[in-house]
Amino acid sequence: MMNTQINRLIVVFTFLCICRINIAQDTKKITCTGKLVDSDGQHIKGAKVALYLYTRQINSFSYGINPTEELTTKADGGFSFSVLADSDNYVNGYVIAEKEGFALGWFRWDMRKGNVEPEIELSRPNVLAGAVIDENGKPVPAARVSIYMLLIGEGENKQYLSRPFTSTLLSTETDVDGKFKFTNLPHGTTADLMVEKTGFASMNTWTTSARLTYAVGQKDIKLVLPVEARIEGVVLEKKTGEPVAGIRLIVKEQNRWVQDAFESKDDGTISINSLTPGKYKLEVLPPEAKLADWAAEPVEVMAEKGKTTNDVRIELVKGGVLEIAVTDAMSGKPVDNAGATVLNQPGNQSFYGLSGKDGIIRIRLIPGDYFLCDGVYKRGYSIREGEEPFTIEDGKTERLEYTIFPESMITGTVHDEKGTPLEGATLMAWPFLRQQKVVANIGGKFKVVYDKQNLASGECPTLLLCRYEKDNLAAALEVDEDVRKLDITLMPGIAIFGKVVDLDGNGIEGAKLRVSLCKPSLSWPITPINPIRDETKTDKDGIFEIKAIPVGHKYVLSTDAEGYGRNNSEQIETDNVANNQIDMGNITLAVANLSVSGMVVDENDKPVAGVNVRTYTQSQPYRRAITDSDGKFTLEGVCAGKINILAAKLGTPLNGSVYADGGMTDIKIVISEKSLPTRYVTKQPASLVGKPLPELKDLKIELLPADLDNKRILICFWDMNQRPSRNCLRQLCKRAQELKAKDIVVVAVQTSQIEENALNKWIKDQNISFPVGTVDGDEKEIRFKWGIKSLPWLILTDKQHIVRAEGFAMTELEEKLKANK
């Protein structure tokens, strides 16, 4: 079991980036020329350095690493590799460096950026060690332990190394005591581990790439291997029952794949070992770049610990065919190697395809409803997005047509007012659906692309943003469509600073800030749309500064932090700013420590599974969930206050929304094809029945404990301004002596603000003999605390002052008294 979710995340993300973002390359060589240094910055001689090309086929669920060249560094620690810059090949480069006495070092070469000059530091080696045991606590010898993922650095300097490199370079076996040790890991790295052993379920410790599990230096790791579960079955043609060999399949758990793809044997049989107990799904994989011969329904299988699940049948059918014809918008010619992703209507199974020389993507599918996810994409073209639904019928072909626009390029140089080239200046162009920050190289030269599709539709102009934060220089230029070369002069920019605090005024460390340039009906982020490495963050005191904001435009500052809500500023004017500085003061974020939950139903009040539920409120953090098989959802980590919750069934017109309050449960969202207004779901107070009565002193009612001891209590919440409330109090007044004789203490509480003299006069005029209190503080808060849904509101307790009835009418009082003696 070599592959789990992170491999898929890495390779799919890389595939999408390479297919969708174009930094155009001519058919020429690009180079990676760098140096190896130690922790003191001294050059390292005699180290082995190798370049690996990392490739993957999207439908094969497998990958390969191919060493293209290996060399030994000389006295200056230098190395250099060259490869062809092929714009269509799915390739990344990894430079791996090794030398006795040093930890492993590496560098990921993003070949879209062309020539690079990295400096790779080899630090002192450190240890990561532990033991592998079985479920009975006994050591497991000869288990294969490998580093699943390795992470070094922070922020924009983060470098990950994952499979397949780690499985080859960082793998060992446990000894007779089940112990393992890695001795050549870089100081300051974190890692996740994977363990494999025949007869046991394979395991790995990875959960999220944001934070790996183990810090290098730990020596007491304990990894528990459970007994394996196994699956056996056969792949056959549904119509004839004949077994079929060579059919590629994958195993999924909770919609993530857990093993390398494998093929059915000559007799059509399949055998899957080393599984943890649980529910799995087997899916057929189509070939990479041609139409599959077969399609099949996914098969769900329950694997049991220490057992083999037999007689699993994968039944193949011809189904129907989807054809997507892709053409170049400028030339009208077919586009080959264009990609598309298709999802079934539940959204839990995906299918990929690439166009051939005729520009047609062909995917065989079982009959059913599908939608095109993320449209059509190819490197060097703007993304043609969309979630177009369609239906596949048995024996028929469904055809879709997509036109995609080539991206346009601008090249040039960037310099300051004195004409000095600004190496390291950053540039971004809009419109561009998948933004990429470009860094000017030596001589201030740059090359950026923009989205011609949006220009053709007249949606927005092309804007080129250039910033040099070191010297607080910036420019924002609107560019004509026919401009291909620019000479950009940067002028003094604006610096925005301030402090991000919580509700108590304490600074929030690590809060993220983004500045967006505003045009009429448009907004362009200063940092990339996926700005993980480029965000401005607050320091340990919550203080921030953002430099190089172009003068003469309007901006909005967006702020959020982990565990908090969001804050969007009013528009910031940058004309005539004193000293080119803007002080934002304190920016306050509310804590996000609540959740909201509920259910999504259709117009017939039936639960709907697989619905995408998300928040969309400026002050609230973005949260997302998918409804389960009962239509239920929970959104964790939201703030108090109003929150807009949207629900949509992907690939269908079904949608709905509600406004609710943070902390609410039992929210019901109705989805429909109709456009329904967003309704506000008020938070309902919890019932007090079965709970101890809250203290009366908050209601300005002071009774001695002896007055209440071993007596039932009857409380009437009322409002003197309402006739039903006044009538209720009069009726209680008539029965006051009778109730007192039954050891029932009667009290009343005026719930709205009213002039005290007027209240006292009415009580006196009506001869009210029992205590009457008033609400002290927020009326809504008190009513919520006491579970009051309407007025008048009666509450009855037993002699232990546990609430036994609430919200009943005076006509029901006798019944409630008899039932609760």
Mean pLDDT of 122-145: 94
pLDDT band at 7; cut points 50, 70, 90: very low
Round to whole Å and give the CA distance between 440 and 452: 22
How far is residue 317 CA from its own chain's centroid? Answer: 36
Mean pLDDT of 70-94: 79
The distance in angstroms from the start CA to the end CA of the chain is 66
Residue 525 has pLDDT above 60, yes or no: yes
The listed range with the strongest mean pLDDT (83-97, 202-216, 734-748) is: 734-748
Phi, psi of 723 (to 5 degrees): -60, -45
Query: What pLDDT is recorded for position 379?
Result: 75
Structure confidence by residue, pLDDT tens digits, 665-679: 889 999 988 766 666
Mean pLDDT of 695-700: 79
Mean pLDDT of 345-351: 76
Q: Which long-range contacts (CB under 8 A, 24 or more apart) does 778-781 make?
A: 779/751, 779/752, 779/753
> Which residue has better confidence, 208 or 233?
233
> What residue type is 347 in one-letter code?
G
The mean pLDDT value of the chain amounts to: 85
Mean pLDDT of 525-541: 68
Residue 809 has pLDDT above 70, yes or no: yes
Round to whole Å and give the CA distance between 49 and 76: 14
pLDDT band at 466; cut points 50, 70, 90: very high
Check residue 31 and give left, alpha or beta (phi > 0: left; psi -120 to 50: alpha): beta
> Which residue has better confidence, 776 or 191?
191
Cis bond before residue 164 (omega within 30° of 0): yes
pLDDT band at 600; cut points 50, 70, 90: very high
Query: What pLDDT is recorded for position 84?
Result: 77
Query: What pLDDT is recorded for position 165?
Result: 76
Which DSSP category does 571 fall into? P
Q: Which long-range contacts (CB under 8 A, 24 or more apart) does 650-654 make?
A: 650/343, 650/345, 650/347, 650/371, 650/373, 650/387, 650/610, 650/612, 651/343, 651/345, 651/347, 651/369, 651/370, 651/371, 651/387, 651/389, 652/345, 652/369, 652/371, 652/389, 654/602, 654/608, 654/611
pLDDT band at 531; cut points 50, 70, 90: very low
Side-chain-facing half-sphere of 145: CA atoms under 13 Å = 28
Structure confidence by residue, pLDDT tens digits, 625-655: 888 889 999 999 999 888 999 998 876 788 8
Residue 336 has pLDDT above 50, yes or no: yes
Residue 215 has pLDDT above 60, yes or no: yes
> Which residue has better confidence, 788 or 747?
747
Mean pLDDT of 168-177: 92
Residue 381 has pLDDT above 60, yes or no: yes
Pair of tokens at residue 695: 């203290």
Query: What pLDDT is recorded for position 22?
Result: 34
Cis bond before residue 286 (omega within 30° of 0): no
Coil, strand or helix at 696: helix
Q: DSSP letter string over 757-812?
A: HHHHHHHHHTT--S-EEE--S-HHHHHHHTT--SSSEEEEE-TT-BEEEES--GGG
Is residue 600 within 8 Å of residue 627, measured between CB atoms? yes
Beta strands across the sheet bearing 397-404: 360-365, 320-328, 397-404
Closest listed residue to residue 405, CA positions, set 457, 355, 447, 440: 457
Query: What pLDDT is recorded for position 442?
Result: 84
Which DSSP category does 157 fall into? G
Query: What pLDDT is recorded for position 8?
Result: 30
Query: What pLDDT is recorded for position 431?
Result: 65
Mean pLDDT of 71-100: 81
Which DSSP category does 481 fall into? T
Count Cβ atoms within 10 A of the Cβ of residue 808 and give its class: 0-12 exposed, 13-18 middle, 19 or more buried: middle
Query: What pLDDT is recorded for position 62?
Result: 44
Residue 1 has pLDDT above 80, yes or no: no
What percentage of residues in the chain have a pLDDT greater than 90? Answer: 49
Round to whole Å and give the CA distance between 76 and 182: 29
Q: What angle do CA 158, 161, 162 make, to 5 degrees?
A: 135
Pair of tokens at residue 43: 């050059």
Query: What pLDDT is recorded for position 131?
Result: 96
pLDDT band at 378; cut points 50, 70, 90: confident
Is residue 651 within 8 Å of residue 369, measured between CB atoms? yes
Least confident of 531-545, 718-732, 780-794: 531-545
- The kind and range of the H/E element at 814 are helix 813-819
Query: What pLDDT is recorded for position 112?
Result: 67
Structure confidence by residue, pLDDT tens digits, 416-430: 999 999 999 998 887
Residue 352 has pLDDT above 90, yes or no: no
> Which residue has better confidence, 10 or 93?
93
Query: What pLDDT is recorded for position 55?
Result: 59
Query: What pLDDT is recorded for position 535?
Result: 66
Q: 3-state SS of the chain: helix, strand, coil percent to 5? A: 10, 45, 45
pLDDT band at 749; cut points 50, 70, 90: very high
Query: What pLDDT is recorded for position 682?
Result: 65
Closest listed residue to residue 771, CA positions, set 701, 715, 710, 713: 701
Q: Counting runs of H as helices and runs of E as strands, what totals does the chain give?
A: 9, 62
Where do the domains of the chain lie, and which CATH numbers do they carry? 5-121 (2.60.40.1120), 125-225 (2.60.40.10), 229-317 (2.60.40.10), 320-404 (2.60.40.10), 408-491 (2.60.40.1120), 493-588 (2.60.40.10), 594-680 (2.60.40.1120), 696-819 (3.40.30.10)
Mean pLDDT of 589-611: 90
Residue 532 has pLDDT above 70, yes or no: no
Residue 13 has pLDDT above 60, yes or no: no
Query: What pLDDT is recorded for position 432?
Result: 61
Closest listed residue to residue 323, CA positions, set 348, 366, 355: 355
Pair of tokens at residue 627: 């409804």
Q: DSSP letter string over 12-76?
A: HHHHHHHHH------SSEEEEEEEEE-TTS-B--S-EEEEEEEEEETTTTEEEEEEEEEEE--TT
Query: What pLDDT is recorded for position 588?
Result: 95
Query: What pLDDT is recorded for position 60?
Result: 44
Mean pLDDT of 164-188: 90
Residue 88 has pLDDT above 80, yes or no: no
> Which residue has better confidence, 788 or 297?
297
What percentage of residues in the chain have a pLDDT greater than 70? Answer: 87
Structure confidence by residue, pLDDT tens digits, 220-250: 999 999 999 999 999 999 999 999 999 999 9
